[in-house]
Amino acid sequence: MPLWIRESESAELAPAAPGMVAASQRFTLAAIAGRKAGLIGLTLISLLLAAAVLAPLIATADPFAISGPSLSGPSWNHPMGTDAIGRDLFSGVLHGTRMSLLIAATVGLLAASCGVGVGMISGYYGGLVDDVLMRITEVFQVLPRFFLAAVAIALFGPGVDRLIIVLGLTSWPVLARVVRAEILATRQLDFVLSSEALGASPLRVFWRVLLPQVLPGVLVLLGLLMGQVLLVEASLGFVGLGDPNVVTWGMLAGQAQGLLRAGWWLALFPGMAITAAVLGLNLTADALSSLVQRR
């Protein structure tokens, strides 16, 4: 190959990873919905996303405003009843959908960025770099997320930003290990070596060659991770460690403590929302996992 060919041009001549085009077509919404679990999961997630986006239009009242009698059961004016001080639970659940899903998505994005970056660098370079990054990964992996989040909130006060940072920084180790294992398995394959021989920089190899190989597995773990984040956030809100200025499903469930006999609806509807979200994410991840195994 002539020496005057630029690096970017030579990298474009590198052979594509085996099955890369087929994989990009296989991991589509239509492919996921083609499986029963994926169809149910995507339906639940779509309904929750629609509720989150349309919450200001659908909600009948401000979730923090008193809009009816206290502990009023489900009725036409209040489809999910009211809480102990007369706030509309339907509005609370809808607005809680927005914040709970936002927390899960932000934590997932932060964890994916850290996990994929660390895993790819560790698996690609190996040696001392691999040893150092894996020891750091092990340190973060043994940290108990719920306890660490509770301590951070107790020390620095409640806040969504603190919760996202703590959960994001303690959720990436599993992703990093999975990505590292995938990189180690493909590091010496012909399509990777060809890209390097044609002059592709490590960054280009990461982005154009290796990332498509690890992305399906990352998406599977990301769905499971976001479901776990929803449960952790709900648990913190349930024990009173959530942000009182922000409506989340966990906060609504926590307010139901001690009122189960007087207002069964206070725990039922936030609990159903949490169940639907976690079930939707897990079913979608299960459908993705089946597609990954067939890759």
What CA–CA distance (Å, rounded) separates 250 from 276?
A: 14
At the fourth CATH level, which superfamily is domain 31-65+72-293? MetI-like (1.10.3720.10)
Asked whether the predicted pLDDT for residue 280 surpasses 50, the reply is yes
Instruction: Give the Cβ contact number of residue 17 at 10 Å.
Output: 19
What mean pLDDT is predicted for residues 7-13? 39
Above pLDDT 70, what percent of the chain?
A: 89
- Asked whether residue 18 carries a pLDDT value surpassing 60, the answer given is no
pLDDT band of 28, cuts 50, 70, 90? low
Over residues 211-265, the pLDDT tens digits come to 888 888 888 888 889 988 888 888 888 777 777 888 888 888 888 877 878 888 9
Q: Distances from the Cα of 143 to the Cαs of 139, 167, 192, in angstroms?
A: 7, 11, 35
- Locate all alpha helices (DSSP H) within 1-88, ordered by sequence: 7-12, 20-26, 29-33, 36-53, 55-58
| CA–CA gap between residue 23 and residue 104 (Å, rounded) | 26
pLDDT-based confidence at 7, cuts 50/70/90? Answer: very low
The yes-or-no verdict on residue 20 having pLDDT over 50 is: no
Does 46 score more than 50 pLDDT? yes
Q: What's the chain's average pLDDT?
A: 82
Render pLDDT for 138-168 as a digit per residue (tens, 0 to 9). Answer: 988 888 888 888 888 888 878 888 888 888 8
Measured distance CA(218)–CA(120) in Å, rounded = 12
pLDDT digit string, tens, across residues 171-187 = 899 999 999 998 988 88
Is residue 65's pLDDT more than 50? Answer: yes
Mean pLDDT calculated for residue range 278-289: 87
Q: Which of 38, 60, 40, 42 is nearest to 50 (CA)?
A: 42
Crossing angle between the packed helical segments 127-141 and 89-125, to the nearest 10 degrees = 150
Neighbours of 156 (CB within 10 A): 11
Q: Kindly report, residue by residue over 103-125, the tens digit of the pLDDT.
A: 999 999 999 999 999 999 999 89
Is the C-alpha dihedral spanning 86, 87, 88, 93 positive or negative? negative
Measured CA to CA, the distance from residue 188 to residue 211 in angstroms comes to 15
Domain boundaries in the chain? 31-65+72-293
Whole-prediction pTM = 0.81
Residue type, 213: Q
Per-residue confidence (pLDDT) for residue 277, from 0 to 100: 92
Encode pLDDT of 76-103 as tens digits: 888 898 988 889 999 999 999 999 899 9
Give the type of residue at 73.
G
